Amino acid sequence: MNATSFLLTCKPDFEKVLIREIALCGLLLKEEGPGWILTERSGAPEKTLPVRELCFACFILENPVIITATSSNGLAEKLVDFLAGQIGTKKIEGPLGSLFFSSGDEKLIHYAETVQSRFAEKFRKKISRVAKLLKDGIPSGHDFSEGLFVHFTDFNQARVSFRARSQGQQRMKMDPQAPARSYLKIEEAFYMMGHAPRPNDTVVDLGAAPGGWSLGALKRGAMVTAVDNGPLKEPVQSHPNLHHLKEDALKFYPDEGVVSDWLLCDILDRPDIIFAVLQKWFSRRWCRYFVVNLKVGRMDPVLLLKKIRDEKEGLAPHCRSLTIRQLYHDREEITLMGELKAAAGRNPA
């Protein structure tokens, strides 16, 4: 990636955490505001984390430029000129992303929508063929997408980029039957992975009560073993595909030779305790896919990320794929999602 600067957005009150995390990517802080930071490359030659792996970032705008105007019409006109200049003589055939947003107050967010509406009207008149290709949001994918991505930091100023990336967070719709808000987190994790339990997949849900995560698997036809001393609520409790083990989830381990398709884990305990449990599950390949929520609490989140990714003692060496994000529905939490490497021969006892 040849970019020299990025505008990164995050959840409110997590700016300082993100500022510390960008150092893992070889980035330096240039400027910050509520819910966003502006970075530049440090030029560090050592191995650094790809920007797309940032946990606490939500959107990433590549090489943003500042536009200013004293009215919404003025901003819209400058955005038309910016996008027209970026397109130039390019042959645009696929969809282009379009995101007008702000990390500020509600009035600024509504103002961004006003500018977007006026931009769309003006751009249709100037380049109608390309205007039809503009789609709201950032297209999903593993790389940066092209389009018009505008982040407002004030009513007279915005930063705009032709290339941007969404880190995948997504607001999910609540199921009225879900026994807990935690259901939203597992649905978001499945959405982000692009993969979820299938009919007859075996799932172990550690710390299952009251059943939000189990419901996400049961709705997809999976066979769920819910491990928790606490009670489950309906419709999970009496579901025919559910087996409830009333035991301590931290001490539960599968029978010898049993490998589950999925491990789900959302336990309210210290990250280091959950980390030790995961080390056993991952090193012994007791599951294939996993979604795990860690409560950051008072633990340093950046040190926790380093511990997870450590090439010798961490969880990452056991994984074929590993994504770590602060989900839209996470609070002071992070979520680990991925797939373990295939076991080489028989799993250790």
In the chain the domains, ranked by start, together with CATH numbers, are: 5-166 (3.30.2130.30), 182-340 (3.40.50.150)
Which amino acid type is present at position 22?
Answer: I
Is a pLDDT exceeding 80 seen at residue 43?
A: no
> Closest Cα partner for 42 from 94, 85, 4, 99?
4
| Mean per-residue pLDDT over the chain, rounded | 93
295 is catalytic: yes
Q: What is the CA radius of gyration of the chain?
A: 22
- The pLDDT of 91-116, averaged and rounded, is 92
DSSP 137: B
Band of pLDDT at residue 1, cut at 50, 70 and 90:
very low
From 97, 77, 100, 119, select the one nearest 163 (Cα to Cα): 97
pLDDT at 343: 77
% of the chain exceeding 70 in pLDDT: 96
pLDDT of residue 88: 85
Is the pLDDT at 140 greater than 90? The verdict is: no
User: What's the DSSP call for residue 232?
Assistant: P
Q: Is the pLDDT of residue 91 over 90?
A: no
Burial code of 304-342, b = ≥16 C-beta within 10 A, e = fewer? bbebbbeeeebbbebbeebbbbbbbbbeebbbbbbbbee
For residue 104, give every residue at least 6 positions away whose Cβ sits within 8 Å of its Cβ, in sequence order, or none.
33, 34, 35, 152, 153
Residue 45: which pLDDT band, with cuts at 50, 70 and 90? low
Among candidates 173, 145, 174, which has minimal Cα distance to 59?
145
The angle formed by the CA atoms of residues 3, 13 and 144, to the nearest 5 degrees, is 25
pLDDT, average across residues 247-252: 96
- When pLDDT is cut at 50, 70 and 90, the band that residue 89 belongs to is confident
* pLDDT above 90: residue 42: no
In the chain, % of residues over pLDDT 90 = 88
CB 214 within 8 A of CB 234: no
Whole-number Å distance between alpha carbons of 115 and 132: 18
Q: Which of 295, 306, 307, 341 is catalytic?
A: 295
Instruction: Please determine, for residue 334, whether its predicted confidence score (pLDDT) is greater than 50.
Output: yes
Sequence-distant (6+) residues with CB within 8 A of 327 are 169, 185, 188, 189, 192, 333, 335
pLDDT at residue 346 tops 50? no
| Distant-in-sequence, close-in-space partners of 249: CB < 8 Å, separation ≥ 6 | 206, 207, 208, 227, 228, 229, 265, 267
Structure-token pair, residue 51: 């920007």
Which residues pair with residue 265 across a beta bridge?
206, 292
